[in-house]
Structure 1
Amino acid sequence: MRSLILLLLLFPCATAFAQDYPSRPITMIVPFSAGGPGDVIARILGSAMSATLKESIVIENVVGAGGTLGTNRVAKAAPDGYTLLLMHVGQATAPSLYAKLPFDPVGDFAMIGLITDVPMILVARPNFPAKDLKELVGRIRSDGDKITFGNVGLGSASQLCGLMFMSTTDTKLTSVYYKGGGPALNDVIAGHIDVYCDPATGPTPYIQSGTIKGYAITSKKRVATLPDVPTSAEAGIPAFDVTTWYGLYAPRGTPKSVVDTLVSALQTALKDPPLVSRFAELSMTPVEAERATPEAHEAFLKAEIAKWARIIKAAGIEPQ
């Protein structure tokens, strides 16, 4: 009886909390550096969701440990809907890459939904002397470890893309490590590194302006914003097929009413014409509404964890 009375006393408080949410700014943690693809997506999405939620979404970049530092902060945050995580495919690769992961990528989070699937683009410094992907591979094979490859670290999209590229072309590149996609892309532009593989959000405007070279995009079809960049299959390497994706999360235990509010705001944002237009400029497409749900994203994430476990094991990478 005492427990029932306590529950009845707390119920109005929980209802009031749900009705009042959000009543202050929301922090969206991005576990990557400012200027990188994840940061760009977060700022576009945050702006669109703010319009629905009637509260600002503040982007906070928490860099380190392949994205696990920022991810762990959200996993340990108060489950009140005021700390969110925007994370990419690294949410699925982390269990295979880290021996002592401080969080459960599925169990420690309340899924909000998938945001977008992003193709990768293989790019090179503006004066790299290869006119197409076939010639690029030939130069890598002849020059060996003299050619440098930008790598944003363990579990990053660039690392996964690089592993897939070297595996499918039987080549070897010398990795140069960066703390984020923004600094790596800047060094490609400046000519300090030779080759880099990045989600389409980053290189698109620089390929359009001729600032860097684009050799192949890993989508099934060419993208409208980069009509002159062939797909991997068109360029002669159909097995070079890798995409990254981004999802939105809250800490485990976040009230369902709050999650529902965030899911609704996400789905509204993904249909917002300015967001759709901005995504298109960056060679991205918002996912369908049925994929931007907690249930769909959880099933997808579990499948991705299993898929990348096989790929990483085959590459001979030991958990660190």
Structure 2
Amino acid sequence: MKHLTTLAALLAGVAFAGAAGACDTTLRASDTHPDGYPTVEAVKAMAQEVEAATNGRVCIEMFPSAQLGEEKDTIEQTQFGVIDLVRASFGTFNDIVPETQLFSLPYLFRSTEHMHDVLDGPIGAEVGEAFAQHDLIALAYYDGGSRSFYNAKHPINSIADLKGMKFRVIPNDVFVDMMSALGANATPMPYGEVYSAIQTGVIDGAENNWPSYDSSGHYEVAKYYTLDQHLMVPEVVAMSKKTWEGLSPEDQAAVKAAALKSTQIERDLWAAQEKASEEKVKAAGSEIVSEIDKAPFIEAMKPVYEKYVTTPEAKDLVQRIQDTQ
């Protein structure tokens, strides 16, 4: 309960700064997640900082729960300047900003801390420059958690335990190839069908992060959860380049500073939400495998990397990510 209290305290400390009538400029921000979700609350905190730093000249109005559209649509609207700010997963940018594709590779990051170090350093800056080539300004990188395997059959302690099992995956070729490389069978299907599919034995399990494992109720039908953390896909807050260029240098600096400050707020909120979900599913009887040797899993990904990391530039980027300490 301590971590639940911590989450509530963090949320309580993030005040909403909606559109204010007195503002000279009101920017519209979109998120598919609902109110209270870490990414939404972090952008609200950013809004509060921006309004204070600009003495009310610039305000940000948050539109959560996909009010302005789903991620792909809102990204396109942001490119055209119809929407000013969008929070979306790197995965949704794959067809728009090619540099984001590599971040969907399995076991690219050793840990959450490693991912943060990569994004907060020179590589994150380079990726930001790639966004700018597509009419978007990358302002902040958020945490979207790590995906791990859960199933209804038995604990997964090694690759051998995955052999022949059927796992739901996002309809994505990388995920399908990842499961094949691990000796399991990938079953792409809509997220909403997973609970009943596990319950009826159509699939043995799925993979996702702590909050999704909890909120979906999947822990009720798949009590074995293994923290292999095979995928960590960052989130990004991006601004329309058209909107950015319409701001004064002073206001641009204020927006950038507020976005960077919101990064830690989002990460703290995410960590608290993860801990609350972990405690909930453990109390409900889920069996958690937290100590696992990832080396064989990573070794099994060689054919996947050979298939998707083909250019010298991509190989160099992957190597630099892996070398980041």
Q: CA RMSD in A?
A: 4.2
Name the counterpart of 1:75. 79
Structure 2 counterpart of 1:68, one-letter code = K
Name the counterpart of 1:137. 162
- The aligned runs of 1:9-20 (5 Å cut-off) are none
Q: TM-score, normalised by structure 2?
A: 0.51
Structure 1 unaligned residues grouped into runs of 5+: 1-19, 98-103, 141-146, 220-240, 285-309
Match of 2:212, SS state, is: coil
How far apart are residue 88 of structure 1 and its match?
1.9
Structure with more helix by fraction: 2
How far apart are residue 112 of structure 1 and its match?
0.5
Name the counterpart of 2:30. 28
- The aligned runs of 1:55-204 (5 Å cut-off) are 55-61=60-66, 67-78=71-82, 83-90=84-91, 93-94=94-95, 105-107=131-133, 108-116=135-143, 118-124=145-151, 128-134=152-158, 136-140=161-165, 147-151=166-170, 153-154=171-172, 160-167=174-181, 169-176=182-189, 178=190, 183=192, 193-204=203-214
Name the counterpart of 1:282. 274
Residues 165-187 of structure 1, C-alpha deviation per residue, up to 9 Å, x if partnerless? 332x13332322x2xx5x36655
Name the counterpart of 1:246. 235
What is the CA–CA distance in structure 1 between the aligned matches of 2:177 and 2:259, rounded to whole Å?
Answer: 32
Name the counterpart of 2:255. 262
Instruction: Evaluate the alpha carbon distance shift between residue 163 and residue 47 of structure 1 in structure 2; reply closer, same or farther with a 3 A threshold.
Output: farther
Answering whether residue 49 of structure 2 is matched by residue 52 of structure 1, we say yes
What is the CA–CA distance in structure 2 between the aligned matches of 1:131 and 1:268, rounded to whole Å?
Answer: 40
Instruction: Evaluate the alpha carbon distance shift between residue 262 and residue 123 of structure 1 in structure 2; reply closer, same or farther with a 3 A threshold.
Output: farther
Instruction: Evaluate the alpha carbon distance shift between residue 313 and residue 139 of structure 1 in structure 2; reply closer, same or farther with a 3 A threshold.
Output: closer
How far apart are residue 248 of structure 1 and its match?
0.9
Structure 1 counterpart of 2:179, one-letter code = F
How far apart are residue 120 of structure 1 and its match?
1.3
Identity %: 7
How far apart are residue 24 of structure 1 and its match?
3.6
What is the CA–CA distance in structure 2 between the aligned matches of 1:265 and 1:22, rounded to whole Å?
Answer: 18
What is the CA–CA distance in structure 2 between the aligned matches of 1:244 and 1:283, rounded to whole Å?
Answer: 19
Say if 2:167 and 2:184, in contact at 8 Å, map to a contact too: no
Say if 1:121 and 1:215, in contact at 8 Å, map to a contact too: yes
Instruction: Evaluate the alpha carbon distance shift between residue 201 and residue 22 of structure 1 in structure 2; reply closer, same or farther with a 3 A threshold.
Output: farther
Instruction: Evaluate the alpha carbon distance shift between residue 88 and residue 160 of structure 1 in structure 2; reply closer, same or farther with a 3 A threshold.
Output: farther
Say if 2:30 and 2:85, in contact at 8 Å, map to a contact too: yes
Q: TM-score, normalised by structure 1?
A: 0.52
What is the CA–CA distance in structure 1 between the aligned matches of 2:63 and 2:213, rounded to whole Å?
Answer: 25
Structure 2 counterpart of 1:132, one-letter code = I
Instruction: Evaluate the alpha carbon distance shift between residue 258 and residue 214 of structure 1 in structure 2; reply closer, same or farther with a 3 A threshold.
Output: farther
Q: Which has the higher contact order (CA 8 A, sep 6+)?
A: 1
